[in-house]
Amino acid sequence: MLCVVITGPSFTAARAQICKSAAIADLLEFRLDLFTDETLIHIEVLRSLASASQVLYTLRSQNQGGKGPNGNRRLELIETYLKNPPAYLDVEIHDSLDWVLAIRAACPQMKIIASVHYFTSGFEVVPTALKLLELIPADIYKIAIQAVSIEDTLKLMLLAKKTPLPLALISMGEKGELSRILSPVYGGALTYAAVDEAAAAVPGQMIAETLLQTYRFKTLNIKTQIYGLIGFPTSKSISHHTHNAVFSLLGKNAVYVKVDLVPEELERVLPLLQALGWQGLSVTMPLKASIMDYLDAYDEAVSQIGVANTVVFRANQLLGFNTDGKGALKAIKGKVDPKHKILVILGAGGAASAIGYEALQSSANVIFLNRHPEKALRLAQHYGCKGGDLAELQTYAYDLLINCTPDPMPIPEDWIHPQAIVMDITTNPQKTPFLEAALKKGCQVIYGLEMFAAQAALQFELWGKNTLPTTQMQDFIQELGEAYLTQTP
């Protein structure tokens, strides 16, 4: 179930929140501890606006992160609101068991959510908390923790998958978003969401509209296959918008999420993803080289390039591939045949290596230039081509110039040749200062989105999720990306 939290605090605000959410929510949580006295007086009016949505009353104590009183005073207040019982009532872990039993007897149709919140603890407290909660005769057991790391969130989801109880396990904070998106996949009883960012009751609470539109929350279930992007940071990536839209188009029961991850976490996180049944990964910086240590097998291109940007989970194995280079060359070939052309690559990282490898397969004359020339020279020696310092660009009459660095403008504008085709692998923003300078010079340009769409289409094929011709898939992803980047500031 999707539970949208109504925080008020004023009657006007609560009414607006209900009117916006009633049609999309399965459950509306009235946070009574946040409501003003005026709002509480008109609570029956607010309930009448809930339409088909059921209502949950929560009077959160100060001990549990709310604004309500602690102890018996809170229980007395709750009783005053049960003259017309809601569909659900939240009780807290330390509430009197006798009181809960009495409430159940007095309101037999009302369901109970037994909850506990830990604002400074991670997964380590969950097993004990669950045993304590189970002493309460409840219909749903809710445990919220503060996600110290992504491991906390993944362990929480693994517990939900293995436990037959009706659970609402939540990781608070940015590292906990997965627990909210993927709750239905692991059998979660409900997910709490906010009407908008201003109304979020706790850190990391997602917006209901995002869950429904981007992640198709109400279509997710225990058979949904999970794919994701790992790296750091992933905030600039548009893949969660494009890839979930592709799954929708293809009618696939699958979802794509983003996971911020650093190299030191891979050893602990990858086994958890396998245990949770994930199917595939896109890999971005700084993990493209680090992931190699955990792959069971990879193709010849990855062997030569030394980095992987795609992982397929198959029969308890992690298989590595690289679609960056192929994607870039598809974008380039849309403008020119690179055969015998002088192609200068700025940068010496994983993407530069991948593009250089594929360009050499297409008989281009590749030159690697980098701010740290020794890195470019190592790549050049590996591939048997030229390499050097960025300043050497002035000495080359090149045909293609590709920025593979994170620097939005890695060279002076004067070094860009007007007759060159210029590319930047950055997707967001679409028009980087580097490409802006090239356009001023009259150059043809290739946007990073073109490479992104081409390499993503190849990833879908590797994951076995593409039933469209590759070119059609590529065009569709590019259209989705352009639409999103146009709408997003």
| Active-site annotation, residues | 117, 142, 288
Quick check: helix, strand or coil at residue 39? Answer: helix
Residue 289 CB neighbours (<10 A): 17
Specify the DSSP class assigned to residue 453. Answer: H
- Dig out the tokens for 136 from the structure: 């309460």
Quick check: helix, strand or coil at residue 75? Answer: helix
Quick check: helix, strand or coil at residue 7? Answer: coil
If you write DSSP's letter for every residue of 343-383 in order, what string do you get? Answer: EEEE--SHHHHHHHHHHHHTT-EEEEEESSHHHHHHHHHHH
Tokens 């996971």 locate to: 259
Q: Pick from 265, 346, 356: which is nearest to 304 by CA?
A: 356
- Close Cβ partners of 205 (under 8 Å, ≥ 6 residues apart): 5, 172, 180, 192, 193, 194
- What b-and-e string marks burial along 261-280, b requiring 16 or more CB atoms within 10 Å of the CB? beeebbeebbebbeebebbb
Strands 365-370 and 317-321 turn out to be: unpaired
- Length of the chain, please? 489
In contact, 29 and 37? CB cutoff 8 Å: no
In contact, 322 and 348? CB cutoff 8 Å: no
- What b-and-e string marks burial along 448-473, b requiring 16 or more CB atoms within 10 Å of the CB? bbbbbbbbbbbbbbbbebbebeeeeb
R_g of the chain computed on alpha carbons: 27
Measured between alpha carbons, how far is 447 from 318 in angstroms, rounded to an integer? Answer: 31
Residue 395 CB neighbours (<10 A): 8
- Close Cβ partners of 149 (under 8 Å, ≥ 6 residues apart): 122, 175, 265
Strands 191-194 and 54-58 turn out to be: unpaired
CA within 13 Å, CB half, 89: 28
Measured between alpha carbons, how far is 416 from 438 in angstroms, rounded to an integer? Answer: 7
Q: Where are the alpha helices (DSSP H) in 256-414?
A: 266-275, 300-305, 324-333, 350-361, 373-383
Measured between alpha carbons, how far is 279 from 302 in angstroms, rounded to an integer? Answer: 20
If you write DSSP's letter for every residue of 216-235 in order, what string do you get? Answer: -GGG--TT-EEEEEEES--T
